[in-house]
Amino acid sequence: MTDLSSKRVVLGVTGGIAAYKSADLVRRLREAGADVRVVMTRSATEFVTPLTFQALSNHPVATTLLDADAEQAMGHIALARWADVVLVAPASANFLSRLARGAADDLLSTLCLATGAPVAVAPAMNRQMWDNRATVDNVTLLRSRGIYIYGPAEGMQACGETGPGRMLEPADLVRRVTGLFATGRLAGRRVLVTAGPTLEDIDPVRFIGNRSSGKMGYAVALAAAEAGANVVLISGPVALPAPPRTRRIDVRTAQQMHDAVMAQIGAQDIFIGAAAVADYRVAQAAEQKIKKDGQALQLTLTPTPDILAAVAALPDAPFCVGFAAETEAVAQNARTKLAAKGLDMIAANNVAVDGIGFDADENALTVCWRGGARELPRAPKDRLARELISLIAERYHETHTTEDTGRTHR
Ligand code: PMT
């Protein structure tokens, strides 16, 4: 399976005859759904022109560290932060050596030092160079530092010799990069996620709603699927496509979301409530459009069911994770909700901060559970969702054995 939906890949290309294969690699990464930015070393540009990679990636190619224009577009620190993964393919013997000694004398080496994302290299070189003690030591050191080493393959080399040193084929590299995200941490578990807003009708044309775009919940659903879970996503009205490998059930109102959740919950191991569910609905929605008569209009609102609290109160409740949309005292209010709703975990976001929370591409979460808390600093929602899912998996597995499907932990 090679699905890289919404993944940001920095592809580093270093000097070597295998650089021509990286053009195909860009194409295949994009076909798998990745957004690809290419960074080339100076010697790589002797083998393939930046224009080729620009055309294939649909983005300008970065080649120098101190290019004022490039730094303005997306400088090395921005690129390092942007990346979900940095893949260097081909990685020459010289580049491996510079990476091993922590060089920061060109854009690609600096970026590898500056990124918090996983770094993978696909070595390509003459077989003697690969077998040389210096390269062997460099590769051992890089591996010990957590750098992924993909390949090399054995076979006929451009220099006419036969042996190890060929860059892995692009399809193989795409599979391996995909594998970095397929953590398997929730393999075989069933996860139910709610996302988006609910809309409560006032009359046939008007409703009470909120600004939830669904981005956070959809990212959580995708991250759970990537972690190997069987995911059902119950979604209010949003403008997003269903994440790959999830089953989506569309609803409109809080009552419909409640009913859909309750119909599915019996089979679930984990419930994650990321939806912004309306707390009130109009007691009696008008059957016809309400006419404007210049007078004040009074609507009687009645509470909607609290879905999360209802799930957590089930006798055989799944592992329950709530979200909390707060505007002040974030951690304190989150803890109050954690206790009041009887949850296993809560992820709180400060929706008063510009650029995060509702309808934003980024978020920041304070995650609390009984006896612990973790700050997940501001980041794109898809990356944050992966961190949250790995934290949920950690906590979930701490409270369940492998045989236990998780319905009796409390
Ligand atoms: O969708 P986005 O634009 O990406 O924005 C993401 C988000 C801000 C909506 C998301 O990160 C978030 O905070 N979701 C929860 C919003 C919310 O309703 O928070 P709350 O503090 O009011 O509710 C607490 C919890 O109870 C939530 O898990 C909510 O789903 C649940 N709830 C609330 C009311 C209700 N009637 N039923 C519920 O299940």
Q: Could you report the per-residue pLDDT of 298-324, keeping only the tens digit for each?
A: 999 999 999 999 999 999 999 999 999
Ligand 1 pocket member 346 (CB < 6 A) = no
Report in angstroms the alpha-carbon separations of 30 from 12, 13, 20, 204. Answer: 15, 16, 17, 43
Q: From residue 211, how far is each of 77, 196, 278 by CA, in Å? A: 32, 9, 11
Q: Is the CB of 359 under 6 A from ligand 1?
A: yes
Positions in the chain short of pLDDT 70? 1, 67-74, 401-410
User: How many Cα atoms are found within 13 Å in the side-chain-facing hemisphere of 10?
Assistant: 32
Beta strands in 1-93 (DSSP E): 8-13, 35-40, 85-91
Write the DSSP symbol of residue 168: P
Q: What are the distances in angstroms from CA 121 to CA 5, 77, 205, 353?
A: 21, 20, 56, 38
Q: 190-409 domain in CATH 3.40.50.10300?
A: yes
Which of the listed residues 200, 323, 351 should we mutate to test ligand 1's pocket, taking the one with most ligand atoms within 8 A of CB?
323
Q: Say which amino acid occupies 15.
A: G
Q: Which residue, 197, 222, 231, 171, is CA-closest to 383?
A: 222
Distance of CA 194 to the CA centre of its chain: 17
Q: What is the pLDDT of residues 190-211, one digit of tens each?
A: 999 999 999 999 999 999 999 9
Which residue ranges does the chain devote to CATH 3.40.50.1950?
A: 8-181
Q: Is the CB of residue 351 below 6 angstroms from any atom belonging to ligand 1?
A: yes
Domain 8-181 falls under CATH 3.40.50.1950: yes
Q: What is the pLDDT of residue 308?
A: 98
Distance CA 50, CA 13 (A): 10
Indicate if ligand 1 lies below 6 Å from the C-beta of 276: yes
Distance CA(244)–CA(224), nearest Å, equals: 11
Which of 277, 301, 321 to mutate for ligand 1's pocket (most ligand atoms within 8 Å of CB)?
Answer: 277
| CB neighbours of residue 335 within 10 Å | 19
Sign of CA dihedral 102, 107, 108, 113: positive
Centroid of ligand 1 to alpha carbon of 319 (angstroms): 17
**What is the rounded distance in angstroms from the CA atom of residue 130 to the CA atom of residue 217?**
46
Rounded-to-integer distance, Cα 262 and Cα 94, Å = 59
* pLDDT of amino acid 157: 81
Q: Is 183 helix (H, G, I), strand (E, B) or coil?
A: coil
3-state secondary structure of 218: helix
